[in-house]
Amino acid sequence: MALSDSEERILSAAGSDPSPVARLQAVGITLAKHGEDADASRDLLTQSYLTHTSPSFHLVPRGDSMFAEDAFTEAYAALAAGTDDFTRVDAATLKATLLECPAALAPLRMILGLTHNELAVAVRLHDPESNVAGGSLKNLERSAPQEHPTATRQRIVGSIAGAVLAMMNRDLLTVPPRATTHFHSKLDKRDTVNGWPSVRDHIAGVPYSALLFQRYVGGVWRQVQDAYSEVKGDAVLEIPLQDLLDAHRVPYHRTKRGAPGAAETATRFGLKPGPDFVIPDDSPTLVIESKVAEDGGTARDKVARIQTLVTAANERGLRACALIDGKGWTERPNALCDVILATQGRTYTMATVEQILQLPEIQALTGPAS
């Protein structure tokens, strides 16, 4: 049966409608259609949700997990002072500088162009007896100086200094001879191409064209994006939802970041996979999974997890919701439609997140939303 005008209105409004009943009605209309009518119904339903998605690729994480520019500048000044403006760079000066100012590790990493995890690999290659990990380096970088550095800290800092010098001397992490036609080293850039002399040549500044080229090949925020991708995922959707629930005094359990956190939630609540939010935290009635997708492949991959969670929630007699955003859903509208149908319309975006308060499971905890 072809779509009626009334059905088209319901489908076109579903993504904006705060009523979970209206959203469920739109899902019911879609599931009842066949052939071309089913395609038309899915398109209308999906578009009503896509209208409220937005990209997040322009958002750069910030907060306590990274240095502000003034703090980074201070750390650089300490590194420059400790090495006499890079005229005296050796194991002793680097070690002394890092012990006196651990934050100096940040500009030192940026000279090399390495993340914490990448530097940790280099340290272990240089010092096979070292078991330093990226997280250890991050903690060191954010730590306060020790008046009397422990033997462990001195050991780590010494290993870092040795690895840094080996890389700048091109003795570590070199480009394999057979790969030189197609690849070059991260150090093959104007401020490190000839080692520390190149660093000294550029301490007074670089041409604007050089800054633009660095953005072109690596992105001005690339290090931050790579190092804090999980923080961004949390901040875009999960933290705003948490703030909303806190503001309305909704009790909830929020899963800790990473696979261990998901496993803990799965074990505690008997749900696999463990959802991002379980509401309330004592006698659950609702679960929420959040997914940011900035490309079509990511959006496609997230659907299976959400569908699996919906099945697990249904088996427990719980309602499942999805909180999604990002331009990837626009690239995979069929994937979004599958999420909408699986959640019976209970799919929300950052623009419509407050409509979650209209869900009867939440209103039972807070009273009708005003």
List, for residues 123-173, the tens digit of each pLDDT value.
999 999 999 999 999 999 999 999 999 999 999 999 999 999 999 999 999
Give the separation between CA 187 and CA 108, rounded to whole angstroms.
13
User: What is the secondary structure of 107-127 as a DSSP string?
Assistant: HHHHHHT--HHHHHHHHHHH-
Centroid of chain to Cα 97: 32
CB-based burial, 315-328: b 16+ in 10 Å, e otherwise = eeebbbbbbbbbbb
Residue 161 burial by Cβ neighbours in a 10 Å radius (0-12, 13-18, 19+):
buried
Alpha-carbon Rg for the chain, nearest whole angstrom, is: 26
Which pLDDT score is estimated for 363?
95
**pLDDT confidence band for 214 (50 / 70 / 90):** confident
**pLDDT confidence band for 225 (50 / 70 / 90):** low
- ∠ CA 353-343-304 to the nearest 5 degrees? 105
Number of neighbouring beta carbons within 10 Å of residue 355: 20
Average pLDDT in the chain: 91
Residue with tokens 């308060």: 357
Q: What are phi and psi of 120, to 5 degrees?
A: -60, -40
The pTM is what? 0.75
Which pLDDT score is estimated for 211?
85
**pLDDT confidence band for 258 (50 / 70 / 90):** confident
DSSP 264: H
Which pLDDT score is estimated for 1?
66
Give the rounded percent of residues in the chain with a pLDDT score beyond 90. 76
Higher model confidence: residue 272 or residue 76? 76
Centroid of chain to Cα 76: 27
List, for residues 47-98, the tens digit of each pLDDT value.
999 999 998 877 766 666 678 889 999 999 999 999 999 999 999 999 999 9
Which pLDDT score is estimated for 370?
47
**pLDDT confidence band for 247 (50 / 70 / 90):** very high
Which pLDDT score is estimated for 61?
66
Give the separation between CA 107 and CA 192, rounded to whole angstroms.
13
| C-alpha dist (Å) from residue 104 to 146, 178, 211, 249, 282 | 14, 35, 22, 42, 46
Give the separation between CA 93 and CA 252, rounded to whole angstroms.
51
Torsion of the alpha carbons at 305, 306, 308 and 311, rounded to the nearest 10: 170
| Sequence-distant contacts of 196-201: CB under 8 A, at least 24 apart | 196/86, 196/89, 196/168, 199/86, 199/89, 199/111, 200/85, 200/86, 200/87
Give the separation between CA 240 and CA 290, rounded to whole angstroms.
11
Which pLDDT score is estimated for 228?
55
The answer to whether the CB of 14 falls within 8 A of the CB of 48 is: yes
Close Cβ partners of 312 (under 8 Å, ≥ 6 residues apart):
271, 272, 273
- ∠ CA 346-352-353 to the nearest 5 degrees? 75
The answer to whether the CB of 302 falls within 8 A of the CB of 289 is: no
| C-alpha dist (Å) from residue 140 to 144, 160, 226 | 8, 11, 19
Which residue stretches of 61-189 are H helix? Answer: 69-82, 91-100, 105-112, 116-126, 134-142, 151-168
Left, alpha or beta for 296 (phi > 0: left; psi -120 to 50: alpha)? alpha
Which pLDDT score is estimated for 40?
96
User: Hey, what are 83's tokens?
Assistant: 């090495």
